[in-house]
Homo-oligomer: A and B are copies of this chain.
Amino acid sequence: MARLASFMSLSLNGYYADEKSNMDFAHTPPDKEFGEFTTKNAQGGGRLLFGRTTYDLMKSYWPTPQAAKDMPEVAKQMNARTKLVASRSMERADWENTTVIKGDLAAEISKLKKDGPDITILGSGSIVQQLADAGLIDELSVVFVPISLKGGKSYLAGVEGRRAWKVAESRAFKNGNLFVRYHPN
């Protein structure tokens, strides 16, 4: 059984995007240790899953020469890894190694979890919400960025009920980012 994880950067007040849907608050000052952490995550293998918005954002950056220059190892991995994009309107994805998931998302992901490597959802707040609602999320990997936002989109908003988690790992970086990995409790 593959594990399904959500990896998300949040403002300290729980938003993954600001009122204009910008996520650039998460671009904290360069930090050697955090850079190594990001690179190690990219090398983690497994499948990546995005919603359409995050897919478009990622696709506009990782295959470019700029990405190859800024973060060569991460760019290489991002382009090489198996990617899934959830979209009802896309016919095909033109980023290499990417498959479009159409149809009922929870049903499709349930099927994909039965076999093959683990799946990590990068960003994609509404995809995370749908899959958490369906009880399919096995892990939350949250980076609390030391920024507060006036408003925006709250992580896991709309997920029915009050969910209890336990901390599997927590780590503080010099740039103020706090990484926490939660499992369902």
Contacts and interface: CB of A to CB of B under 8 A. Distances in A.
Contact of A18 (B12, B144, B162): B162
This protein's copies in its complex: 2
A132 to B, nearest CB: 8
Contacts of A176: 165-167, 185
Q: How large is the interface on A (under 10, 10 to 19, 20 to 34, 35 or more residues)?
A: 35 or more
Interface string A16-36: 001000000100000000000
Interface string A127-163: 0000010000000101010111111001111111111
B161 A147 contact: no
- Of A140, A154, A170, A178, most B-chain CB atoms within 10 Å: A154
Given A13-B14, A15-B154, A167 B178 contact: yes
Contact of A142 (B12, B160, B185): B12
Given A14-B155, A178-B167, A150 B160 contact: yes
Nearest to A154: B13
Given A154-B13, A178-B170, A159 B165 contact: no
Contacts of A124: none
A98 interface: no
Contacts of A11: 14
